[in-house]
Amino acid sequence: MKLSQGVEWGLHCATLLAVAPEGVTVRRDGLAGHYGLPDAYLAKHLQAMTRASVLLAMSGPKGGYRLARPSGAITVLDIVEAIEGAAPPFVCQEIRQRGTGALEPEQCLKPCGINAVMTRADQAWRATLRAVTIADLVDQLPPGVQERNRTLMSHPG
């Protein structure tokens, strides 16, 4: 499975917003500049995260983004699904019922072993991502990074 770079960007932006001082919003260009990302392309991902209620977008001169919920209530899976969608990566086409080797429909009442293993893998992957929150990622930042980023977010520009 391959995820777009937007997932990495979204996770880093959410982690940065999690350490912003209470009530502070961070402008999109501030987020883009902090990570050296193209502003217009980052906008697409921030909008997707806003539509998914991961972020709140505030307009106006003091506008910007902030987390829509506490960082402990936003999972890595929330952000992956906001950016990539929630559709499973494997969709069984039931090819065992086609071609010269086609099985009879009554032989296909249960998912095949391939479908079953892919479904279990997807469920395990999602459970792993669901078990990690943005707060957990903040806790894993190297020493001093939370404080440095909090200071930067207090004095953007």
14, 55 in Cβ contact below 8 A? yes
Q: Is the full-model pTM beyond 0.85?
A: yes
The predicted structure's pLDDT at residue 156 = 54
* CB of 16 closer than 8 Å to CB of 31: yes
5-152: what fold?
Arc Repressor Mutant, subunit A (1.10.10)
Give tens-digit pLDDT for 50-91: 999 999 999 988 789 999 999 999 999 999 999 999 999 999
Give the number of other Cβ atoms within 10 Å of residue 36's Cβ. Answer: 6
pLDDT of residue 85: 95
Instruction: Report residue 154's pLDDT band, with 50, 70 and 90 as the boundaries.
Output: low
Residue 90 is predicted with a pLDDT of: 93
